[in-house]
Amino acid sequence: MPWTIVNKENEIDCDYGNSEEGARKLSYSEAIREALMQAMTLDENVFIMGQGINDKIGMFGATTDIYKQFGEVRVFDTPLAETGLTGVAVGAAMNGLRPVYCHNRPDFLMLSMDQIVNHASKYNYMSGGQCTIPLVIWAVTGQGWGSAAQHSQALHGLFMHIPGLKVVMPTTPYDAKGLMLQAIADNNPVLFLDHRQIYNQKGNVPEKMYKIPFGKGVVRRTGNEITILGISSMLQEALKAAEKLEKDGVSAEIIDLRTIKPYDINLVVESVKKTGYLVIADTGWRTGGVAAEIAAEVYERAFESLKAPIERVTLPDLPTPAAYTLENAYYKTEEDIIEAVGRLLGRN
């Protein structure tokens, strides 16, 4: 098993990408591309598939020209047959390979739900441990430019609900690389759901391989008056909000869970015990969503530490509209987070 030689994040000299040592500035998509190529070099069982993957701009630059190095057997374009091809990926994984199946938009994963929910997530359990399924399904959530209701959905809440799936949501180039390597190394189906809004950001990324363990969150900014949890692209909004809040004399602690199944509930609870207030900012919808799940868990574990009810900053329960005036009303920003903080601290 070649993957045992890849260090875990805490075994290398990197401080979540903050350390300059041994790091280069890479864009988010470059970091993923490096992870894929290193994984394919390390383990011949790794292969990648997806619609348009060998296109110059396949997966927003993250798969560009990989086929030139590894050939079109291990990097192949797929027909528009998501149900069947997801099953193909599951079958290949059951037979010892490590597929990464790429989708430009998670909206198309709805065509794959039978295989993801009825099959991939269940077979190790249902077969009494005979079928491991080391499968990565990777999709990039869209936002803006009038993408409307079928090219913009953040569906991580649906997948979080299903036992047997792991759900990964990186926010930095450093995490993108380390989480992709862990996702490929993992012996279970992993949904790797990232966000188009963070693809062009740059950050420190070590050249060597490293795996980021699932269920280990990071405090992105230390504070002591209020805790703000930012999921996926809402982390950027949370960080911007924290800058502004600091100018107003509010010290916010920003948490990035990095993976939402499993998720680092202890990190959230510890922070809430310190601050007494929690805002959860998610890219998904409100009802039955990830923010609701995390809030329930915090109420159960830290009720007595909370000085006020938890605030959720989420999308309204609506399909995404196209017109920019409606888009602006629909999506949440740093301002919504600041307002939520104001409501909690009574400083509006």
Partner 1 sequence: MKDERLKLYQAMKRIRMVETAIADNYNNEVREMHTPIHLYDGQEAVAVGVCSELNREDTVFSNHRCHGHYLAKGGDLNRMMAELHNRETGCCKGHGGSMHLMDKKHGVALTSAIVAGNVSIGTGYALAEKMKKSNHVSVIFFGDGASEEGSVYESICFAELKKLPVVFVCENNLYSISTPMDRREPNQDISSKFETILPVHKVDGNDVIAVREAAGIAIEAARSGKGPSFLECMTYRFRDHHNVGNGVDGRFRTTEELQDWENNCPIEKLKKEMLLEGIVNEKKLYDIEQKIKQEIEEAFLYARSSSCPASSELFDGLWG
- Strand extents, DSSP E, the chain: 7-8, 23-27, 46-50, 75-77, 98-103, 136-141, 166-168, 190-195, 202-206, 210-211, 218-221, 226-230, 252-256, 259-261, 278-285, 311-315
Q: Any catalytic annotation for residue 82?
A: yes
As given in the structure block, the two tokens for residue 137 are 């399904």
Find the shortest distance in angstroms from Cβ 122 to partner 1: 9
CB 35 within 8 A of CB 185: no
Measured from the Cβ of residue 161, the count of other Cβ atoms closer than 10 Å reads 15
Closest CA to 282 of 222, 335, 332, 339: 332
φ, ψ of residue 164 to 5 degrees: the values are: 100, -5
Q: Give Cα separations from 95 to 2, 39, 152, 275, 338 (angstroms).
A: 17, 18, 34, 49, 50
Q: Any catalytic annotation for residue 335?
A: no
91 vs 213 by CB, closer to partner 1 = 91
106 vs 164 by CB, closer to partner 1 = 164
The residue annotated as part of the active site, out of 103, 119, 151, 195, is 151
Find the shortest distance in angstroms from Cβ 285 to partner 1: 27
128 vs 346 by CB, closer to partner 1 = 128
124 vs 197 by CB, closer to partner 1 = 124
Find the shortest distance in angstroms from Cβ 188 to partner 1: 5
Find the shortest distance in angstroms from Cβ 88 to partner 1: 4
CB 176 within 8 A of CB 258: no
Residues contributing to the site for partner 1 (CB under 8 A): 47, 73-74, 79, 81, 83-97, 114-115, 118-119, 123-134, 163-164, 187-188
In terms of residues, how long is the chain?
348
CB 294 within 8 A of CB 284: no
Estimate the share of the chain in helix, then strand, then coil, as percent rounded to the nearest 5.
40, 20, 40
Find the shortest distance in angstroms from Cβ 183 to partner 1: 14
Find the shortest distance in angstroms from Cβ 157 to partner 1: 20
103 vs 177 by CB, closer to partner 1 = 103
Find the shortest distance in angstroms from Cβ 119 to partner 1: 6
Alpha-carbon distance of 101 to 88, in angstroms, equals 10
123 vs 192 by CB, closer to partner 1 = 123
Cα dihedral 148, 167, 38, 102 in deg (nearest 10): -40
CB 344 within 8 A of CB 279: yes
- Residue type for position 166: K
5 vs 73 by CB, closer to partner 1 = 73
The residue annotated as part of the active site, out of 9, 30, 82, 237, is 82
Catalytic machinery residues? 82, 151
